[in-house]
Amino acid sequence: MAKKEIKGILQVDLFGDERMMYAEKVKVAWSKGLTKDVNSSLAAMSRRAKGTTKENNVSIRAMVRKNTGKPNWKKGLTKETDSRVAKGSNTVKGRTKENNEGVAKAALTKTGRTKENNEGLAAMAKKLKLRVGEKNPNWTGGVSFLPYSKEFNRAMKSYIRDRDNHTCQRCGISEEDYKKKFVRKCNLPIHHINYDKTDGSEYNLISLCIKCNGNANSDREFWFAYFRDKVSVKRIPEDIVIYG
């Protein structure tokens, strides 16, 4: 039986249930180092999983029902305040298709995919089309089409970024790193804390990266309170209304 050393743990080339039991004994993943191209068990699992959705699979439906309504355990946590989030962040930090085989493989798989030539993207596009306008759960009556206030100009945005030290006030990424990570020439976006575009006052504005700004569009009551406290609890009236 062939053996090999992986990170100080003796691995044995086993198959099926025998490999799983051995992996449990030495506390490592039984599929570590394997792919569906070289392992029949993974290949069979991949074939069974292909095309399964909550509409055609009982197990997935049960899982969806079980988790529906449950809050995300990471909600409100950051890598600065929680070791688990920090560990996950450090694991993927710096990975690119140039230095990581998994990222390179994923990039290669996705290259050239469009809704015209990919079944998954076509289904996603069709699903999103059904959630436009009033059908979208984040619909707030069309307020996104309202014009910004006159106070919300280039000078005000620059002032807010200076006040926030050119750093995203949610994840902590600097404006310089933000441009590198998201390949953007523009500065950090400025978010309206109470979601009212007509309110361009200083204490209703905060600097966020594009990812955190997008995340703030869901669970608005939570993010309103979170960013309000970030800016200044004393300067923002407690009875202010969240727009939408």
Q: What's the confidence (pLDDT) of residue 70?
A: 79
Closest among 207, 171, 209 to 79, alpha carbons compared: 171
Tens-digit pLDDT profile for residues 184-209? 778 999 999 998 888 999 999 999 99
Residue 14: what residue type? L
**Which stretches in the chain have pLDDT values below 50?**
1-15, 233-234, 236-240, 242, 244
Q: What is the pLDDT of residue 167?
A: 93
Q: What is the pLDDT of residue 153?
A: 92
Give the other-Cβ count within 10 Å of 152's Cβ.
20
CB neighbours of residue 43 within 10 Å: 14
pLDDT on residue 190: 95
User: Which amino acid would we find at residue 24?
Assistant: E
